[in-house]
A and B are shown apart, each in its own frame.
Chain A
Amino acid sequence: MWNAKKSILLSICGAGAAILLVILFAALLPFFPRFGSAKSSILFDAAYLRTIMPSLYACCVPALISLISLLRMLLDIRKSLVFTEANVRRLRVISWCFFALFLILLLTALFAIASPAILLLAVSSGFFCLLIRVVKNVIDAARTLKEENDFTI
């Protein structure tokens, strides 16, 4: 039967797989033009890749930091440590990572490749930054409530 424990395990596996994919993506990025032709996908175009590569590598850093924070948060949740100061801090880190992604993608769209898709990704990152900040505030409030409840005798 499907239960909360299995659900958390699935999330942990998902986060772990995402970390591996980001590392694999970063490692294989320079070899992308060898895998296919520019006609099949824009990512196989060497000239395009050269322009966008610094941005892609810059995006990998906040992506990895946020995924590692997410994985550590999930490992804590598995131990029933949900409303803790550490999780609030991790959510704050994830929120700042999304803000960094927003800035990187915005600068890429403005100065490197004027692509509506990249601009859309930048706006999405900005929105997620705000969303996670709100979740962080909610968890922080819940943590205060839980602490008061725990110390009410």
Chain B
Amino acid sequence: MGITVNLDVMMAKRKISSGELAERIGITPANLSVLKTNKAKAIRFSTLEAICRELGCQPGDILEYAADDPP
């Protein structure tokens, strides 16, 4: 599992669309989709800061850690 991005939950709470959020934080809708679908390998502090600013939340509200299942 590792780190999960719960951006869609926070976006639903704030009632903001993907296109609008992408425009406000200055990334492409395609990149926002990568972030939302947990395909991203890393997130820049500047992007995280912009998301937190626009959604009025903390990084912990968006990112969640879950331990991997033992093999």
Chain A interface (Cβ < 8 Å from any Cβ of B): 147-148, 151-153
Interface of chain A: mostly helix, strand, loop or mixed: mixed
Min CB distance B3 to A, Å, is 13
Task: Mark interface residues in B19-45 (1 if CB within 8 Å of A CB, else 0).
Answer: 000000001000110110001111110
Q: Beyond the given A147-B41, A152-B41, A153-B42, please list 20 additional residue pairs across the A-B interface where CB-CB is below 8 A.
A: A148-B41, A148-B42, A151-B34, A151-B39, A151-B40, A151-B41, A151-B42, A152-B40, A152-B42, A152-B43, A152-B44, A153-B27, A153-B31, A153-B32, A153-B34, A153-B35, A153-B40, A153-B43, A153-B44, A153-B47
Min CB distance B5 to A, Å, is 9
Q: List 15 A-B contacts (CB under 8 A).
A: A151-B39, A151-B41, A152-B40, A152-B41, A152-B43, A152-B44, A153-B27, A153-B31, A153-B32, A153-B34, A153-B35, A153-B40, A153-B42, A153-B43, A153-B47
Residues of chain B with a CB closer than 8 A to A147's CB: 41
**Number of A-B residue pairs with CB-CB distance less than 8 Å in the complex they form:** 23
Min CB distance B46 to A, Å, is 10
B interface size (C-beta, 8 A): 12
Residues of chain B with a CB closer than 8 A to A151's CB: 34, 39-42
Residues of chain A with a CB closer than 8 A to B31's CB: 153
A61 CA to B23 CA in the complex, in Å?
Answer: 55
Residues of chain A with a CB closer than 8 A to B39's CB: 151
A94 CA to B28 CA in the complex, in Å?
Answer: 39
By beta carbon, the residue of chain B nearest A151 is: B41
Residues of chain A with a CB closer than 8 A to B32's CB: 153
By beta carbon, the residue of chain A nearest B48 is: A153
